Amino acid sequence: NAGVTQTPKFQVLKTGQSMTLQCAQDMNHEYMSWYRQDPGMGLRLIHYSVGAGITDQGEVPNGYNVSRSTTEDFPLRLLSAAPSQTSVYFCASHLGGQYNEQFFGPGTRLTVL
């Protein structure tokens, strides 16, 4: 199993550009999440999904869109990149339920100029 994969690993954007961060998992996990990690701060939840076709907002959803058309894939779209979105982005998945061990992707380091 590849686990959780993310692409790209690094990305530099100009303000106003759009892009999609890809996330896929091959563990048949229902739950998938996107987090951002900023220096000195804990992980902050952007959006999450509890199954194909179902998504919801997390703590910091503004400026981001998600969709979940399949169980495996959960892309994160930046609609119009801003310098405040410079961060490291992690995708995670888990089986669901209360005892939800999280599996993380390797992260995408995004810089917005």
Partner 1 sequence: KNEVEQSPQNLTAQEGEFITINCSYSVGISALHWLQQHPGGGIVSLFMLSSGKKKHGRLIATINIQEKHSSLHITASHPRDSAVYICAVSPSTRDSNYQLIWGAGTKLIIKP
Cα dist from 110 to 1, 52, 82, 95, whole Å: 26, 26, 11, 28
Nearer to partner 1, 56 or 69 (CB): 56
Is there binding between residue 100 and partner 1 (CB under 8 A)?
yes
Q: How far is the CB of 81 from partner 1 (least distance, A)?
A: 22
Sequence-separated (6 or more) residues with CB below 8 Å from residue 27: 1, 3, 4, 93, 95, 103
- When asked if residue 1 is in the footprint of partner 1 (CB under 8 A), the reply is no
Residue 92 CB burial class (10 angstroms; 0-12, 13-18, ≥19): buried
User: How far, in Å, CA of 40 to CA of 14, rounded?
Assistant: 25
Give the CA radius of gyration of the chain: 13
Site for partner 1 in 27-66 (CB under 8 A): 31, 33, 40-45, 48, 50, 56, 58
- Could you tell me which stretch among 12-20, 21-29, 64-72, 103-111 binds partner 1 (CB under 8 A)? 103-111
Min dist CB 15 to partner 1, Å, is 25
Segment lying near partner 1 (by CB under 8 A), choices 19-27, 63-71, 76-84, 94-102: 94-102
Which chain residues interact with partner 1 by CB under 8 A? 31, 33, 40-45, 48, 50, 56, 58, 90, 92, 94, 96-107
